[in-house]
Amino acid sequence: SKNAGRNCFHVYSPELKAEADQRNILEIELREAIWREEIEVFYQPVVELGTGRTKSVEALARWRHCTRGLIPPAEFIPVAEECGLIVELGNLVLAKACRHAMMMPDDIKVAVNLSALQLASGNLVDSVMYALADSGLAETRLELEITESVFLADSQENLKTLERLRRLGVSIALDDFGVGYSSLSYLTAFPFNKVKIDKSFIDRIGRSETVAVLGSIVQLAKTLNLSIVAEGVETYEQVEKVRLLGIALGQGYFFSKPVPFGELLLQGLAESER
């Protein structure tokens, strides 16, 4: 097996050699794609459940590959993180998202995902300031989504960086809440603006245990003055349950899949149509 090979004596098997070659090709192609700005940004609305209005859009990276078509982030973000391309890739997404946001109504925020490695890179604040200045986007229209992984390594430094970003006027959201090492204490570790409840909770929202856990998350979030988003909402039933729990915002296929910028405008986000 592959694992046995990694740990023992099959390291130079033709199969693993082929796998390593594939990986090297992917790295080279990814470097090239970032250079040519072939990483596209799709957008998915975050909707106010009470009114149906879009309050923000999340920027999600897609790689437009010349032969393989659209490659999802799960396939190239980990590669970018491993080969040190994530900072460049992240800056490209940030720059494109800020420029696109300038063409959206100004009551709509744009949320950009950050890798923990970008936060640890030491120049995230400069990159953010550059993207804002370059696009002309107001600081208050940018939201950055981080996961609790930033609390694992060098968390003091990371917290300082997040504080500097908040002082700029940028919002910070805690993403994928409820998975991994999740603990309610992360919510109090930093003055987040928003918490995004992971889809796995929404999938299990029919169970009373889930409703109980979500109830206490909602309570704490309200105490901390955080806005709450339910991620991965796919059905009307889920929307209703989420709403009953007091969660004001939802994001998911029920409202819209992530779409290219042009399509987002067609959905009625164009300034002229509001």
Binding site for ligand C2E (CB under 6 A): 44, 60-61, 72-74, 77, 90, 93, 113-115, 175-176, 232-234, 251-253, 258
148 binding Ca ion? (CB under 5 A): no
Among 54, 113, 115, 118, binds Ca ion (CB under 5 A): 113
CA-angle at 129, arms to 138 and 125, nearest 5°: 130
176 binding Ca ion? (CB under 5 A): yes
Q: Which does 252 bind (CB under 5 to 8 A by kind): ligand C2E, Ca ion, none?
A: ligand C2E
CA distance linking residue 112 with residue 127, whole number of Å = 13
Which ranges of the chain would DSSP assign to H, the alpha helix?
2-7, 14-35, 73-82, 86-101, 116-120, 124-135, 155-168, 184-189, 199-203, 208-223, 236-244, 261-264
Rounded to the nearest 10°, the torsion over CA 129, 123, 73, 84 is 150
Minimal distance, residue 255 CB to ligand C2E, in Å? 8
- Residue, CB closest to ligand C2E: 252
8 Å CB contact between 148 and 174: yes
Between 29 and 143, whose beta carbon lies closer to ligand C2E? 143
143 binding Ca ion? (CB under 5 A): no
Q: Which does 60 bind (CB under 5 to 8 A by kind): Ca ion, ligand C2E, none?
A: ligand C2E
Between 93 and 228, whose beta carbon lies closer to ligand C2E? 93
User: 227: closest CA among 111, 99, 84, 103?
Assistant: 111
Interface residues with Ca ion (CB under 5 A) are 113, 145, 175-176, 231
